[in-house]
Chains A and B, each alone.
Chain A
Amino acid sequence: MASTTAAANAAAITFTVNGAVRALDLDLRTTLLDALREHLDLKGTKKGCDHGQCGACTVLVNGVRINSCLSLAVMHQGDEITTIEGLGAADDLSDLQVAFLDRDAFQCGYCTPGQICSATGMLDEAAKGWPSSATDDLNTAEIDLTDAEIRERMSGNICRCSAYPQILDAIRDVAGAAA
């Protein structure tokens, strides 16, 4: 493995976004969030606080949810990135997208893409048996997604309209259907 040194303050970056390989020449300071929004015109992912506190920018990288605002695009060379646009289309919504509509789990909608990407990653983490602070038995292999578990596992996503009860309902619908 060779060490790559960029003398300049820009770099050629290639990663896969929603199944398509994308190549970009970017200022090294470009966050993954800004690369998606400003350079690939994927405006579904939102910039809220830009400091990892609100979760509006949540995307999946290699299937794992992260805050795209606190990651440089250059750190994601070769990664597989999934945004809200990759989870479903208007005529082919994901289960969580349908549940958010059914349960009216938003008001202004600004946090919703982050909520849905986060919940998608969260359900996968729970299915893998990852514990949370709300898990009674740390050694359990089966996570029972109680309301307390869902709340704890979604605490990285803020909703300033405070649609939390409906967000919880929507996620519980999908988690319950999967169980």
Chain B
Amino acid sequence: MKPFTYERAADPAAAAKAAAETPGARFLAGGTNLLDLMKLDIETPAHVIDVGRLPLARIEDAGDGALRIGAMATNSAVAADPRVRRSYPVLVEALLSGASPQLRNKATTGGNLVQRTRCAYFYDTAKPCNKRQPGAGCAAIGGLNRMSAILGTSDACIATHPSDMAVALSALDASVETVAPDGSGRTIGIDDLHRLPGETPQIETSLATGELITGIVLPAPPPGAQSYRKVRDRASYASGLASVAMAGDRIALGCVALKPWRAHKAEAALKAGAPPRVAAEVELAPAHGNGGNNFKINLTCRLMTAVIQDGRR
């Protein structure tokens, strides 16, 4: 691990200001992803701004039936909250399907959103990766790509976003609240937070330099069933091969792209009366495999069909 300097932020705006003014600064919240990557010299911050004790852990009424979850609320705290359990079961199921209990006790809501991909080539510093080193190339495209993305990929990157939580947030139409280095706040729709790779896979979110996530807002739950289903190689504590979040009429897919994939086409097809299988096929029509991950197209299609059908029972 490379040496770094450290400060504990006094308040969110001060943290954002310090991050914008200090070259090579990184926010540290739970640390479960950042420290892992620092040990591998994939993340090499010159300065670490500890935001873990900022007073942003509250889960509170946001008016009009909405709920605000502070960015420092741990994944465990959110999944255990009675209001979240009552009104947003898709979020609870997604959170509890991710990582291990020890990690969820440390990992935060804000950190979960900005965690980095688990692509094996991103982790292997002996291999080229356009995310780690822009212009180096993508070893996953011709390599072992069983876990790689099938939607929204580019010639530069076929990595997936690893969050389960964010997939549920997409189906719930959540929004992300931030504070900028000048102290101003703004709200970003969850589907506008993460970016598809294009030619610049190293730019992962629409956050500006120094901009800090302070919370997420869940609008009032939509009418209808909610569920999250994840298919993986072992029953617990494993990354997914495919996942589907459903909240009423809204559907989002996980493990398929570099962002939570809101299935707008399938939603429109269902609204027009298409049967679940047809709607799933419409969504996955542009899907593209790179060999090892070809099976994920059919797997995702079937999983999506099953989730929609179960929701109608």
Question: Are A130 and B103 neighbours in the complex by a CB distance under 8 Å?
Answer: no
A11 within 8 A of B: yes
Residue of B nearest to A128 (CB): B80
Which residues in window 1-49 of A have CB below 8 A to B? 1-9, 11, 27-29, 31
Given A6-B5, A6-B6, the answer on whether A67 and B96 have CB atoms closer than 8 Å is no
* Alpha-carbon gap, A130 to B304, bound state (A): 28
Question: Are B7 and A4 neighbours in the complex by a CB distance under 8 Å?
Answer: yes
Question: Are B92 and A131 neighbours in the complex by a CB distance under 8 Å?
Answer: yes
* Alpha-carbon gap, A121 to B105, bound state (A): 10
Q: Give min CB distance, B164 to chain A, whole Å.
A: 11
A66 within 8 A of B: yes
B127 within 8 A of A: no
Contacts of B7 in A (CB 8 A): 3-6
Question: Are A131 and B101 neighbours in the complex by a CB distance under 8 Å?
Answer: no
Question: Are A28 and B8 neighbours in the complex by a CB distance under 8 Å?
Answer: no
Classify the secondary structure of B's interface with A. Answer: mixed
B236 within 8 A of A: yes
A64 within 8 A of B: yes
Question: Contact mask A147-167 → B, CB, 8 Å, 1/0?
Answer: 000011101100000000000
Q: Give min CB distance, B67 to chain A, whole Å.
A: 16
B9 within 8 A of A: yes
* Alpha-carbon gap, A64 to B1, bound state (A): 27
Question: Are A130 and B79 neighbours in the complex by a CB distance under 8 Å?
Answer: yes
Of A4, A8, A66, which is in contact with the most chain B CB atoms at under 10 Å from its CB? A66
Contacts of A151 in B (CB 8 A): 236
Q: Give min CB distance, B44 to chain A, whole Å.
A: 12
Residue of A nearest to B33 (CB): A70
Q: Give min CB distance, B2 to chain A, whole Å.
A: 8
* Alpha-carbon gap, A50 to B1, bound state (A): 13
Given A6-B5, A67-B106, the answer on whether A51 and B101 have CB atoms closer than 8 Å is no
Residue of B nearest to A64 (CB): B105
Of A4, A7, A9, A130, which is in contact with the most chain B CB atoms at under 10 Å from its CB? A130
Question: Are A75 and B5 neighbours in the complex by a CB distance under 8 Å?
Answer: no
Q: Give min CB distance, A34 to chain B, whole Å.
A: 11
Interface size on B, residues (CB 8 A): 42
* Alpha-carbon gap, A6 to B92, bound state (A): 38
Given A2-B10, A52-B36, A72-B35, the answer on whether A67 and B1 have CB atoms closer than 8 Å is no
* Alpha-carbon gap, A7 to B4, bound state (A): 9
A101 within 8 A of B: no
Question: Are B100 and A3 neighbours in the complex by a CB distance under 8 Å?
Answer: no
Interface size on A, residues (CB 8 A): 46
Contacts of A50 in B (CB 8 A): 39
* Alpha-carbon gap, A11 to B3, bound state (A): 12
Residue of A nearest to B236 (CB): A155
Residue of B nearest to A152 (CB): B236
Question: Are B103 and A52 neighbours in the complex by a CB distance under 8 Å?
Answer: yes
Q: Give min CB distance, B39 to chain A, whole Å.
A: 7
Q: Give min CB distance, A140 to chain B, whole Å.
A: 9
Question: Are A71 and B85 neighbours in the complex by a CB distance under 8 Å?
Answer: no
Given A67-B102, A138-B85, A138-B89, the answer on whether A9 and B5 have CB atoms closer than 8 Å is yes
Question: Contact mask B11-40 → A, CB, 8 Å, 1/0?
Answer: 100100010000000001001100110010
Partner of B100, one of A5, A72, A155: A155
B76 within 8 A of A: yes
Question: Contact mask B168-197 → A, CB, 8 Å, 1/0?
Answer: 000000000000000000000000000000
Given A3-B14, A67-B106, the answer on whether A74 and B101 have CB atoms closer than 8 Å is no
Partner of B10, one of A3, A122, A129: A3
Contacts of A67 in B (CB 8 A): 32, 102-103, 106
A9-B3, A50-B39, A67-B103 known; 18 other A-B pairs, CB under 8 Å?
A3-B9, A6-B6, A7-B5, A11-B6, A27-B3, A65-B105, A66-B106, A67-B102, A67-B106, A72-B28, A128-B80, A130-B79, A130-B80, A131-B80, A131-B92, A133-B97, A138-B89, A139-B86
What are 14 sample pairs from A and B whose C-beta atoms fall under 8 A apart?
Answer: A1-B10, A2-B10, A3-B18, A5-B7, A6-B5, A50-B39, A51-B36, A52-B36, A71-B106, A72-B31, A74-B6, A121-B105, A130-B80, A132-B101
